[in-house]
Amino acid sequence: MAEHYLSVDQVADLLGTTVRFPRRLIEERRIRYVKVGRHVRIPESAVEEFIAARTVEPIRLRRVGLRRAA
C-alpha cells in the first residue's frame, strides 16, 4: 500500500495549528519526515503516530460509598 505524504501546511491544517508547530516538530525531530529535494513531506502515518502517542485517556473514578455527615 502506498503511503500518502503531506506538506507542512497540510499537517498544520490537519492538527489545527499554525505552520510553525509542524516545522518545530521537524526541527526537534519529534515527528518522522522525508526530504524530497528541498521539500519536506510528512507521512500520514507519522501524524497518526504522533497523535496516538500523545493522546491522554480520561481517568475513570470509582464511586466509593459516600456517607452523609451527621
pLDDT block averages, 10 residues each, the chain of length 70: 92 97 97 96 97 93 70
65 occurs within a structural domain: no
* Grid coordinates belonging to 26: 521537524
Order of strands across the sheet that contains 5-6: 5-6, 39-43, 34-36
pLDDT for res 60: 86
Residue 7: other Cβ atoms inside 10 A: 14
Q: Rounded to 5 degrees, what angle do the CA atoms 1, 26, 28 make?
A: 135
47 occurs within a structural domain: yes
41 occurs within a structural domain: yes
Based on the structure, what is the number of domains in the chain?
Answer: 1
pLDDT for res 50: 96
pLDDT for res 67: 67
Q: How far apart are CA 42 and CA 22, in angstroms?
A: 9
27 occurs within a structural domain: yes
pLDDT for res 25: 97
Give the residue numbers spanning the domain of 32: 5-53
15 occurs within a structural domain: yes
38 occurs within a structural domain: yes
Q: How far apart are CA 57 and CA 2, in angstroms?
A: 31
68 occurs within a structural domain: no
pLDDT for res 8: 97
